[in-house]
Amino acid sequence: MSPVSTTSSRVIYDALKACGIRLMSALPETWLVHLIRMAEDDPEMILVRLAKEEEGVGISAGAHLAGVKSAMLMQNHGLLASINGIVSCAQLYRIPLLMLVSYRGELGERDPWQTEGGGVTEDILRALRIPFVMLEQPDHVAQRIADAQTLALASNKPVALLLRRGLMIEEDGAGRAGGAGR
Amino acid sequence: MKRIDALTAVYSRLQDRIVVTIMGAVAAELQSIGHRPNFFYLQHAMGLASSMGLGIALCRPDRQVIVLDGDGSLLMNLGGLTTLARYRPRNLVHVVFDNESLLSVGGFPTATSTGSDLAAIAKAAGVPRTATARTLDEFTRAFDEALAAGELTTIVAKVEAVGPSAFVTDLGLLENRFQFQRYLAP
């Protein structure tokens, strides 16, 4: 049984649809499985499965210039893997990017291989001057995603939403849930 | 074959198609032949020109998209070939100018100079049509066949490691970007 919350994933997916997102790029990671399946099952959504997250920056840039709103789904390690693309494609060319980043490696993380990325994620985003906000509770998801998209489009710049454990994982209180990721 | 001659030979076919190029000699030479609002030059982010082309091709299936890539750039995003092949947009032609070197930073040899075969890699990645062109005639034939085929094609054009004397042009990066977006607006 997957500990990843289907309910929260649905709230996030519906919020993305409400913002007019028609293309998603994704690299699978445990917390994102439901979101990726929802995109796969949605005939209105173009889902692009990537080999590496940085490709998603190029795909979103192409989509934006072609008039299509897109979102990128990735783990925070995928954000680290995308930095050159973010700087030298999205920021250099003023491309809005809506990045949904699963925030692995925070308190409660049980997978040893996820524990370094969590500690650098927010500092990296600040260093890149990328505005970001946490998605922690289902009741603020829709507003925060809409606000992030508004700012991304108004500024023509990347904006990040950090998907936190409390939103994405059910029955996490005792730290039992985890699941392998990348 | 010189890249500038290859670009000149197919320039008339680029005029009404969406074109995305890499940085360096390809961008400078295409601009020297003649910039058009439907040409976008990705002047950094090496490797992502093919990903941008894929994004445009998936979003605008009504338009034919040409990506003008290079060996150094493609080698930075070989995984992207598997993504291209996975979605294999029928409206995308992927040209790789392979001069076996990183020309704009001093001409240091890339791995294609020691035997790595990008057309074979593209084919093995699952790109449905691939070709290698060593002469101008071979290139123009392969290019026209790819345009007519209506199937994702990667053409590796083996070109001499020579280029323009300068790489900076008078076209601003953002001017190019917004002009291109306006051109693409439905």
Question: Model confidence at B103, in pLDDT bands (50, 70, 90)?
Answer: confident
Pairing between β-strand B18-21 and β-strand A132-135 as defined by DSSP bridges: unpaired
Domain for residue A152, yes or no? yes
Q: Which two tokens stand for residue B113?
A: 């100079």
B162 to chain A nearest CA, in Å? 25
Q: Which two tokens stand for residue B5?
A: 């001659």
Half-sphere exposure of B138 (CA within 13 A, CB side): 13
Q: What is the CATH number of the domain that holds B54?
A: 3.40.50.970
Question: What backbone phi and psi angles, to 5 degrees, belong to B92?
Answer: -125, 125
Give me the domain span that covers residue B22. Answer: 3-184
Q: What is the CATH number of the domain that holds A52?
A: 3.40.50.970
Give the residue-averaged pLDDT of B84-110: 95
* ipTM associated with this complex: 0.96
Residue B129 pairs in a beta bridge with: B153
The chain A residue lying nearest B181, using CA atoms, is A65
Q: Which of A55, A62, A94 lies at the smallest CB-CB distance from B59?
A: A62
Q: Do B80 and A88 touch (CB under 8 A)?
A: no
Spatial separation of the C-alpha atoms in residues B10 and B140, rounded to whole Å: 7
Any CB–CB contact under 8 A between B43 and chain A? Answer: yes
3-class DSSP assignment, residue A75: strand
Any CB–CB contact under 8 A between B83 and chain A? Answer: yes
Judge whether A45 and A73 are in contact, CB under 8 Å. no
What does the pLDDT read at residue B124?
Answer: 98
Q: Do B184 and A65 touch (CB under 8 A)?
A: yes
Maximum Cα–Cα distance across chain B: 45
Give the residue-averaged pLDDT of B53-69: 98
What does the pLDDT read at residue A180?
Answer: 45
Asked if pLDDT for residue A50 goes beyond 90, the answer is: yes
Cα→Cα distances A175→A89, A168, B44, B144, Å:
39, 13, 43, 60
Give me the domain span that covers residue A109. Answer: 6-168
Q: Is the dihedral of CA B52, A26, A18, A86 positive or negative?
A: negative
- Look at chain B and report how many structural domains it folds into: 1
Domain for residue A177, yes or no? no
Give the residue-averaged pLDDT of A94-106: 97
Asked if pLDDT for residue A177 goes beyond 50, the answer is: no
Q: Which two tokens stand for residue B155?
A: 């053409």
Asked if pLDDT for residue A4 goes beyond 70, the answer is: yes
Domain for residue A124, yes or no? yes
Q: Determine the distance from the C-alpha atom of residue A125 to the mean position of all C-alpha atoms in its chain, rounded to a whole number.
A: 13
Q: Which two tokens stand for residue A137?
A: 């509770």
Spatial separation of the C-alpha atoms in residues A51 and A54, rounded to whole Å: 9
- Look at chain A and report how many structural domains it folds into: 1
Task: Kindly report, residue by residue over A33-45, the tens digit of the pLDDT.
Answer: 999 999 999 999 9
Domain for residue A108, yes or no? yes
| DSSP state, residue A11 | H
3-class DSSP assignment, residue A160: strand
Angle at A44 between CA A39 and CA A48, to 5 degrees: 45
Domain for residue A103, yes or no? yes
Residues of A with CB under 8 A from a CB of B: 23, 46, 48-52, 54-68, 70, 84-85, 88-89, 92-94
| DSSP state, residue A86 | I
What does the pLDDT read at residue B186?
Answer: 76
- Long-range residue pairs from A115-121, CB within 8 A, at least 24 positions apart, any chain: A117/A75, A117/A76, A117/A77, A117/A80, A118/A76, A120/A80, A121/A76, A121/A79, A121/A162
Q: Do A51 and B40 touch (CB under 8 A)?
A: no
Question: What backbone phi and psi angles, to 5 degrees, belong to B148?
Answer: -80, -25
Asked if pLDDT for residue B66 goes beyond 50, the answer is: yes
